[in-house]
Structure 1
Amino acid sequence: MACVLLTSFFILISAHLVESSGVFELKVHSFTSTNSVCKQSCDCQIFFRVCLKHSQDIILPETPCTYGTGMTDILSVDSISSSAHIRVPFFFKWPGTVSLIIEAWNAESSNQSTKNINNTISRLGNKRTLAIDKDWSQEVHLGDQSQQRFLWNFSYRVVCDEFYHGEECSDFCRPRNDAFGHFICDVAGNRICLPGWKGDYCAEPICSSGCSEEHGYCEAPGECKCRFGWEGPLCNKCQRYPGCLHGTCNQPFQCNCKEGWGGLFCNEDLN
């Protein structure tokens, strides 16, 4: 009588570093064998293992899992936890094409050791191209091993972690509103400045409308502060020489006398 394992759990490849750029995820929905998957009866415990490694034309299970490995908890045939899952993130530009190995193992006395290859129930592996995508890809695989036939039903995906974007999860963008920038991020990881800010990192305030770009500046959006020698709401008026009475200026601190006036301060009536 066939042993049927109906599962709904995640196998997520994870490492134990603080941050990562993305994560590979695998869901095994069902695993069916034509004979007992256990050595003596269907009343046994098993676990699943995933190995993710660099692209190989010929998959070699004995070589290291260069991109990470993960296992589920030990699962009973009669009582399979739907919440068992593992996370193994990656910390590099996602290569796109990888070698993926999925294995089912018998558990020896609640031990998840993979040293005894005789405890391997089934293994499937191939090279595949996995694009960054939040949607799950569904697959059904029929395989034969040791005069048994196994039916796998699983789905998988690769997603970027929070703040990472792009086809390789290599574009970093974290929203901020501080001295180093004022922006949010779109789905592609592009910075979008908050209202009142501009520049590559949205750290330059936008001054009030009409504020002289040459003679005015601002430290916060909507301001118009005048540089030395200039004045007015838009900082477009030069300051006359102190004490200039009947004069004008084209540049700061001039005192160009109007018609009929003279002297250093244009305070002498020439008429």
Structure 2
Amino acid sequence: MAQFLSTCFLLLISAQLVKSSGVFELKVHSFTTISSSVCKQSRDCQVFFRVCLNYTQDVISYRLACSNGTGLTGTLNTEQNSISTSAPITVPFNLKWLGTVAVIIEAWNAEPSNDHPTENLNNMIGHFATKINLTIGQKWSQDVHLGEQSELRFSYRVVCDKFYYGDDCSDFCRSRDDPFGHFTCNDTGSRICLPEWKGEYCAEPICLSGCSEEHGFCEAPGQCKCFTGWQGSRCDECVPYPGCLHGTCKLPWQCSCKKGWGGLLCNKESNV
């Protein structure tokens, strides 16, 4: 049963390791038009931002689909000719983070009467595209992009989701204490076994101190259960042949007679 559970656990871990999980975050600190207001003097102006990620080496264009994820803000009211976001725009990803990515940032007129404003390119009031090389981390990177009549100041970072670690967010580790493992996770996602457990996945109990590794085993910490043919509190004593009376053994089922005894079961006195 224990071997079956261990096999199931290894399959579960293997399934987790082929996945990756993280989020790209971008803050718009200011989007400013150089001439006129953001929405060309419209009193009912509402704006939203869209961020696209593409793992591509092609020329960056707003015509590219958001092949590796997209993030949207809600509608934002403009203040004179500048607008910013109070919370980061988030773009989740489930592929390994490759480091280099094309980032497309768009500002759109929300047009309350239109449920699909991005279908009309006339609603786009700002478009910025760049390629970045970004490693996983909590630190924000700053950037400024200038358009023909606009300026965008923003910061960005990429972080792993909870329970995911590593340079590409593909290392999974979640603390557990159950039949499938007994460990916690450190800051890098490495497993730290709980006391009395060992092994790659901390699913192997540590047996009673001194328990013979060759002739004993345990199914729970502190035990020492003997394989057939061995006995004793630490499974380091062989079991002699059944009925052996005045004999000893070095291997199971032997009956080596003590001095003065003979016979198959060492039960006959000997003058030798």
What percentage of residue pairs aligned between the two structures are identical? 63
* Unmatched 5+ stretches in structure 1: 1-18
Report the counterpart of residue 9 of structure 1 in structure 2: none
State the partner residue of 2:181: 181
1:101 aligns with 2:104: yes
Of the candidates 138, 141, 148, which is equivalent to residue 137 of structure 1? 141
Q: Does the aligned pair in 2 maintain the 1:55–1:127 contact within 8 Å?
A: no
- Spell out, residue by residue over 1:40-72, the C-alpha distance to the aligned partner (whole angstroms, 9 max, x if none): 346521111112112335211112111111211
Q: CA deviation at 1:268?
A: 2.9
**Partner amino acid for 1:51?**
C
Q: CA deviation at 1:246?
A: 2.0
Residue from 121, 137, 146 that aligns with 1:117: 121
The equivalent of 1:70 in structure 2 is 71
Aligned to 1:23: 23
Deviation at 1:20, TM superposition (A): 5.8
Relative to its length, the structure with more strand (as a share) is 1
Contact 1:50-1:103 at 8 Å conserved across structures: yes
Other structure's SS at 1:114 match: helix
2:246 corresponds to which residue? 246
When residues 265 and 56 of structure 1 are mapped into structure 2, their CA distance, relative to the original with a 3 A threshold, is closer
Partner of 2:237: 237
Tell me, yes or no, if the aligned pair for 2:51 and 2:91 is still in contact at 8 Å: no
Structure 2 length-normalised TM:
0.81
Specify every segment of 5 or more residues in structure 2 that has no aligned partner in the other structure, as ranges.
1-18
- Structure 1 ranges of 4+ moved more than 4 A: 78-86
CA distance in 1, matches of 2:44, 2:61: 32
Does the C-alpha gap of structure 1 residues 267 and 40 become closer, same or farther in structure 2, counting only changes over 3 Å? Answer: same
**Separation in 1, partners of 2:241, 2:52:** 79
Q: Secondary structure at the match of 1:118?
A: helix
Shift in Å, 1:226? 0.9
Question: Which amino acid in 2 is paired with 1:259?
Answer: K
One-letter code of the match for 2:72?
A: M
Q: CA deviation at 1:156?
A: 0.7
Summarize the Cα distance change of 1:204–1:234 in structure 2 as closer, same or farther, 3 Å threshold: same
Cα RMSD for the two superposed structures: 2.5
